[in-house]
Amino acid sequence: MGKSRESLQAFPEGAQKLLGDELQFLQLGGMPKDAKPFRGIGSGVIELALKYDTGAYRAVVAVQLGKRIYVLHSFQKKAKARIKTPQQDVDLVRQRYREAMELADNEK
């Protein structure tokens, strides 16, 4: 959704590969061990958190919308400590989730 693909492609190659593997695992029906619920958006929205080299990378994914998996947002976490996801990122995920739900409804 949106520029999630472009954002993910801007990650270092190794981080791209690791997140790509986790997305593929989701497509095959699995649940990555590092996946956690992304609260406050909707059921079936998870966050894939990855530490790679000196960075922290995230992909927020909706996994239960029709037959598709929607990557709602991908970003590099900037804060060094365990700080909440910035509100602008949460708002963007919320907006893209609504758009993904509409797309899934139109596919039925």
From first to last of its 108 residues, what are the pLDDT tens digits of the chain?
999 999 999 999 999 999 999 999 998 889 998 899 998 887 889 999 888 888 888 999 988 787 889 999 999 887 655 677 888 889 999 999 999 999 888 876
| CB-based contacts of 71, cutoff 8 Å, min separation 6 | 1, 4, 5, 8, 23, 59, 60, 61
Count of structural domains, the chain: 1
Residue range of the domain that includes 95: 4-107
Q: How far is CA 49 from CA 52, 61, 105, in A?
A: 10, 11, 28
Q: Is there a contact between 57 and 77 (Cβ–Cβ < 8 Å)?
A: yes
pTM: 0.86
